[in-house]
């Protein structure tokens, strides 16, 4: 099937990580579906439906770990099943509206997480973060704009160095930020007396485990050692309905060249991009619907997807109840 160039280029940008971070990936997917719907020419309602489903599959196939991607696609494409459409224009409009509502929801959620999470930040805090998360940045920037004064330690996040993005974003806000090698986490936690760790999420499972950038679980272990609160910031569309029925989360394995640009004969490379932090190491999860303990993830999922575990139903978007 042929897709509009803008759509394939968004899919390629997600694959190659020009667009990255679970929230941004989800929004980009919704945007791609909107563009696909707008560009569809001629044909019948059935053809439109098949073409939209194929576009959804193309987007979902780009990266496997962040559940925000299938959740966004399923949310937008759920309108295809809601009723019988009599014209392409009618169904096109429904898809575009759903995509728009996802994007708006996602932006509002980030704002809300900022407001809710900022209540946890105190002047004098020394906060450690890993990778680059817009949800975490939203909390830090909101707290800073409220006049709270704290400093941040950002890990480099090898091999893709997303910590550079975090450091730059925070520095631009005037927040004191120090970039540290990933391997320095334990040393910095102890010597700088870190008061909080805040990280984002790619997926939250039904048992409250959090899948995030590789290295997150080591940081959680270290935080436990020093009794430092370990906080996760995430939109609720990163809760995985698939894990309710026991589906494991696939951990993306990225190219060896990211770790070792020039091959060394006889040396094997592993490059898993994410890891799972067990719920026992997580103190709280800050969502746009409030703060929950990780053990309440299943309850949250029940609320979000209470029809069928496989049916994406977005939080907070008012629609037909049932
Ligand atoms: O692990 C990553 C990004 O990994 P990658 O760079 O491989 O996509 C981020 O911590 C989460 O996606 C949360 O980010 P956000 O809060 O922005 O959704």
238 has binding-site annotation: yes
Q: Which pLDDT score, from 0 to 100, does residue 321 have?
A: 42
Mean pLDDT value across residues 206-215: 98
C-alpha distance across the termini of the chain, in Å: 35
Each residue's pLDDT tens digit, 15-43:
999 999 999 999 999 999 999 999 999 89
Angle CA 295–250–153, to nearest 5 = 65
The DSSP annotation for 227-267 comes to: T--EEEE--GGGB-GGGGGTPPPPPPB--GGGT-SS--TT-
CATH architecture of 112-304: 3-Layer(aba) Sandwich (3.40)
Q: Is 135 in the pocket of ligand 1 (CB under 6 A)?
A: yes
Residue 202 has pLDDT above 60, yes or no: yes
pTM summary value: 0.95
213 has binding-site annotation: yes
Q: Which CATH class is domain 5-111?
A: mainly alpha
ipTM over 0.90: yes
**How far does residue 21's CA lie from ligand 1's centre (Å)?**
3
Mean pLDDT value across residues 206-219: 98
CB 16 within 8 Å of CB 257: no
Mean pLDDT value across residues 144-150: 98
Helices (H) and strands (E) in the chain, counts: 11, 10
CB 32 within 8 Å of CB 10: yes
- b/e string for 220-235 if b means 16 or more Cβ within 10 A? bebbeeeebebbbbbb
Q: Where are the domains of the chain?
A: 5-111, 112-304
Q: Which of 175, 194, 176 lies closest to 185 in space, CA to CA? A: 194
Residue 316 has pLDDT above 60, yes or no: no
Q: Which pLDDT score, from 0 to 100, does residue 83 have?
A: 84
Q: Is 215 in the pocket of ligand 1 (CB under 6 A)?
A: no
């Amino acid at each position: 099937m042929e897709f509009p160039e803008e759509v394939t280029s968004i899919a390629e940008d997600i694959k190659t990580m020009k667009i990255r971070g679970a929230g941004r990936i989800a929004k980009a997917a919704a945007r791609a579906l909107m563009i696909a719907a707008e560009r569809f020419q001629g044909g019948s309602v059935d053809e439109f439906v098949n073409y939209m489903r194929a576009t959804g599959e193309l987007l979902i196939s780009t990266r496997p770990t962040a559940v925000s991607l299938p959740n966004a696609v399923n949310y937008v494409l759920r309108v295809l099943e809601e009723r019988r459409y009599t014209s392409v224009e009618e169904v096109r409009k429904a898809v575009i509206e759903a995509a728009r509502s996802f994007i708006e929801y996602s932006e509002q959620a980030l704002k809300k997480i900022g407001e809710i999470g900022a209540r946890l930040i105190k002047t004098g805090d020394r906060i450690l973060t890993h990778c680059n998360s817009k949800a975490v940045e939203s909390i830090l920037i909101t707290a800073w704009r409220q006049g709270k004064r704290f400093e941040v330690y950002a890990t480099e996040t090898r091999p893709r160095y997303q910590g550079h993005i975090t450091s730059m974003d925070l520095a631009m806000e005037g927040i004191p930020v120090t970039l540290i090698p990933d391997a320095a986490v334990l040393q910095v936690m102890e010597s700088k007396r870190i008061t909080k760790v805040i990280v984002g999420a790619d997926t939250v499972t039904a048992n409250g485990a959090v899948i995030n950038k590789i290295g997150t679980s080591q940081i959680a272990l270290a935080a436990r050692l020093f009794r430092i609160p370990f906080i996760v910031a995430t939109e609720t569309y990163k809760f995985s309905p698939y894990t309710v029925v026991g589906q494991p989360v696939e951990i993306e394995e990225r190219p060896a060249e990211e770790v070792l640009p020039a091959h060394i004969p006889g040396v094997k490379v592993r490059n898993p991009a994410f890891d799972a932090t067990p719920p026992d190491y997580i103190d709280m999860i800050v969502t746009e619907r409030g703060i929950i303990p990780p053990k309440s993830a299943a309850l949250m999922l029940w609320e979000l997807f209470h029809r069928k575990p496989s049916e994406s139903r977005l939080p907070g978007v008012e629609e037909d109840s049932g």
